[in-house]
Amino acid sequence: MPEAQPIELRTVEVQELTQKTDQLLEKYSDFEVVDESDYCHGAIDLKAIKGMQQKIEEERFKITRPMDTAKKAVLNFFRPFELRLDSMEKNIKSKLLGWKDKEDARSAEEQRKENERAEREANRLREEARKADELAAEKERKRLAEEQRKADERAEAERERIAKEQAEAKCDEDKRRADEQAEAEENRREKEQERLHQERLDAEAEQRERTARAENLEERAETKQAAPLAPAAPKVTGISTSKKWLFQITDPSKVPDQYKTIDEKKIGGVVRALKGDTDIPGVRVWQESTMAARSA
């Protein structure tokens, strides 16, 4: 690639303009208008400054216009290639994203079905645990109640027998033996009650074990979650996709004011047309003086 040649900017014209600009800058660095003479001299120099601005612009255009023309030619040369490539890029991206969106939707539907299946299995395990716990508890309650009923019946029968023997005892010896039998029966009954108490303790321990098994089923149910499926679209090195949020205005009247932009260009057009008669709520209109100068 050929090396770019430096552009000579310090031409005679530019040097003259620089000198005159410095002189005017020094003259007007603390410029004040106190009388008509100052005003007239300032106006004359203002026209000279306007001419110098035009001259500077002409000198600048001598350099930049050829550059702009060359740049425009280069851009025009490459624009057809860029347009064709941009069109191909847009078309390929559209097709790739269209296929990927369909595959993502299909994968999401499969994941949803798998999640539902896992949830159904979890619910089944929870229900199984609940029923097993209720059935075991009810069975144990019935067994203990039956054991207690039978023990109560045996104790009542024994009390009736002892009472009958005591009533029929005809001598002190018979009464003594009856008392001993009553004491022995009382001891036996207490041991029976202790046995039933121990059985209740054992039953409670067994119930705790059943509860632990039920909780284990509950934990299994909670962990019954569907495994994530593999991404539908394959990975391609150098190609990446991302999601972005878009929006569409469906009812402008409902959009809050903080999201609306004031059209200052339109307001300016109304002010220039109506001038002091402008009446726009929330807008202040006033007039300022401006000055224009032609080159000398």
| Sequence letter at residue 295 | S
Q: Can you give the residue ranges of every domain in the chain?
A: 12-226
| pTM, entire model | 0.49
Mutual angle of helices 172-222 and 36-168, in 10-degree steps: 150
- pLDDT for 162: 75
- pLDDT for 8: 59
Under 8 Å between Cβ of 144 and 199? yes
- pLDDT for 181: 74
What lies within 8 Å, CB to CB, of 241 at 6+ separation is: 97, 100, 233
**55 vs 49: CA distance, rounded Å:** 10
Residues of the chain with pLDDT under 70: 1-10, 166-179, 207, 210-233, 295-296
Mutual angle of helices 12-27 and 36-168, in 10-degree steps: 80
- pLDDT for 166: 66
Distances (CA, A) of 287 to 266, 273, 274, 275, 291: 18, 13, 12, 8, 13
Under 8 Å between Cβ of 143 and 234? no
- pLDDT for 33: 87
DSSP calls for 218-258: HHHHHT--PPPPPPSSPP-TT-----------S-GGGS-GG
